[in-house]
Structure 1
Amino acid sequence: MAETTAETTDVASQYSAQVASDLEQNLKEQERLSAEIEALQAQLAALQHNHSVLTNIQQALGTSAAAAVSAAESVTKVPAPRKKTATKAAASRRTKSQKPATATAKRAGKKTAKASQTQSAAQSAAPKLVELVRAHLSAQSEPRSAAEIAAALEQEQPERGIKTTVVRSTLEALVAKNQAQRTKQGSSVFYTSTDTAEPAADGDQSEQPSA
């Protein structure tokens, strides 16, 4: 009877441990998916912003072209003169009036193209989030959580709207590439750069007594 009770208790303990492990895996999977969703939402917001900018540029180009066409049409609709001399004068005026309209359209097109190039250059010059996170980790002497890193980067670049979930996803990507290390203290997860972790390991080896 005692053996049966012991076996039942042992089986229950095994099931309990298995359920606890499954719950932990489930929570980790939820966090991973949430981080991916946040990253995708950030990408979608960036694409929507770019779409709005491109739409405004397209409208500006369309307005300039429409203005040039309207000016050309207004010149074309000048009443036909009765005399040949008047016809030549009208043709001369038509040619002179078309040149400023064409020049205006060209200037508008150049300004729009320059604005687009400036925006593209600014976007390409801005450092990527993964570069910011890696640089911040390398500058730290102690482990940092994803929330702490996100808060620090938000203060440095408030215009980017950096979120903790996106930073956590970036940190996990760095860990997967062996460019960062992850440690767990209780229920909290902290990250350190492999650049800062390696000197510490060398220091520990130098302190060991020689045989």
Structure 2
Amino acid sequence: MSAQEIPTLKSQYAEKVAADLDLNTGEQERIREEIASLQGRLAGLEQDHALLVGMRAALGGIATAVPAPRTGKKAATTTTATTTTATTTTAKTTTAKTTTAKKATAKKSTGRKTTAVKAAAKEPAKAKAATPKEKAAAPKEKAVASKEKQVPLTELIHRHLSGQAEPKTAREIAQALKTAQPDRSVSDNLVRTTTERLVARSLAERVKQGATVYYTALPHHGEAAGAPVAAEEAVAGKETENTPVPATT
């Protein structure tokens, strides 16, 4: 905001405040005039009331209850009482609605809990349907199915070597298999033993350079790919890393 704009805004606010003050003052004067006029009318009515009462008493002496003039205080009291009653009624209505809503919510929650308890009670009954023999046989069946799905280690090694352009050591083969199948337990010693079996079956060739042994895959000769000897695979699976392999030391 520049220095030239500040006086302009101040003058605008000053004019607005002055206009509001004039309006407020005029409104006060108008209300005072109305009050004075009403008070004058009220005084005239009171005089007329007293005159009429005296005239009626002189004419017939009829004893009739005459309503007394109402004062401003009584009217104000009546208005306050009416407002208080209305407020109390509204509060009672709101409280009743809130109580009804809470009861409905509690009924829904109770119904849900009852349904959950029934469902939980049915689940143990389903679990009891299986006999102990079935439960004991289930893990064995899963283990057998898992083994059946696994490709034999000899076939994995042969496939890996067949796809390599250069000879590989047992350690390199084991690292490649671990990367390709991290959920399978493969050790360097197990891979070395299994690869030696491939060499014995003329499915791999071993070349020793110094203290290092390299393996190269050979094509299948009259033997279907992916069908290794079951007995050899079983023995290879029992090998551990502590088992010495004289051919590779």
Bigger relative contact order, structure 1 or 2 (CA pairs below 8 A, ≥6 apart):
1
Both proteins in one fold, TM over 0.5: no
The TM-score normalised by the length of structure 2 is 0.34
Greater share of residues in helix: 1
The TM-score normalised by the length of structure 1 is 0.40
